[in-house]
């Protein structure tokens, strides 16, 4: 198993939440590469926790698609494949378009203010050259429409997808050799989201999701060939 720089977790939150955060960070950063077998005894020792919360965390990350449980074989960091990236793009596009169809007639001042605030937070993270904050704030910007759409199952599906999207955004940064999107990359998205033309918004979602796709696919193809 790959040697990790994991440190014992702080116990000021639930153990499961802390273990989830540490493992997710290790996967997204590449410290735990795709295909790595997870050995419970080693992870338990490194993190300073019992196997109970560790197993709960692994189960949660499996639900998010970051970990694969293979019967009679073991638990592994999920492999990144071109097919998985394609499915992620297409599924995410459909989800976000559906969310906007639901929210369109319900948009209010709270929706407007939150979207503007998140754009400001994302811009600040980009200007600060903080790639971790940039990914978080970009996901939070897209999260606004799901929060306000009034569809619990859609919201749950989006939350389950966020782990894989976080990993994708990290790959996107690597493929484009920068710490985040361009400073104005979401201006049109927000403008249309607050405008009056739903078809234009839906078309832009498709366009927005495709930005940089070819470079990411090439990077994933290279990673896949090395595994």
Residues of the chain predicted below pLDDT 50: 1, 9, 11-12
pLDDT value of residue 82: 81
What is the pLDDT, as a whole number, of residue 5? 61
Q: What pLDDT sits at residue 89? A: 86
pLDDT (0 to 100) of residue 182? 76
Question: Angle at CA 28, nearest 5°, toward 23 and 34?
Answer: 90
Of 84, 94, 91, 208, whose CA–CA distance to 141 is shortest?
Answer: 208
pLDDT score at 38: 93
Per-residue pLDDT of 90-121, as tens digits, reads 999 999 999 999 999 999 999 999 999 999 99
CA 130/CA 124 separation, integer angstroms: 9
Token pair of 4, please?
């990790």
* 175, 130 contact by CB (below 8 A): no
pTM of the model: 0.75
Phi, psi of 184 (to 5 degrees): -105, 15
**Confidence at residue 12, expressed as pLDDT on a 0 to 100 scale:** 44
pLDDT of res. 224: 66
């Amino acid at each position: 198993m790959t040697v990790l720089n994991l440190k014992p977790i702080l116990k000021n939150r639930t153990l499961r939440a802390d273990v989830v955060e540490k493992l997710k960070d290790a996967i997204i950063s590449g410290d735990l590469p795709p295909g790595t077998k997870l050995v419970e005894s080693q992870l338990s020792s490194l993190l300073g926790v019992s196997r109970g919360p560790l197993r709960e965390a692994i189960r949660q990350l499996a639900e998010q698609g970051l970990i694969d449980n293979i019967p009679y074989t073991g638990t592994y960091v999920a492999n990144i494949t071109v097919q998985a990236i394609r499915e992620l793009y297409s599924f995410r596009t459909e989800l976000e378009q559906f969310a906007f169809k639901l929210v369109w007639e319900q948009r209010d001042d709270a929706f407007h203010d939150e979207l503007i605030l998140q754009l400001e937070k994302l811009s600040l993270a980009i200007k600060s050259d903080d790639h971790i904050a940039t990914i978080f704030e970009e996901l939070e910007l897209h999260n606004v429409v799901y929060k306000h759409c009034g569809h619990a199952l859609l919201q749950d599906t989006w939350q389950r997808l966020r782990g894989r999207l976080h990993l994708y955004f990290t790959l996107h940064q690597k493929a484009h050799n920068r710490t985040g999107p361009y400073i104005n990359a979401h201006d049109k998205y927000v403008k249309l989201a607050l405008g009056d033309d739903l078809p234009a918004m839906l078309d832009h979602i498709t366009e927005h999701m495709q930005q940089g796709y070819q470079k990411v696919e090439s990077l994933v193809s290279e990673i896949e060939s090395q595994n």
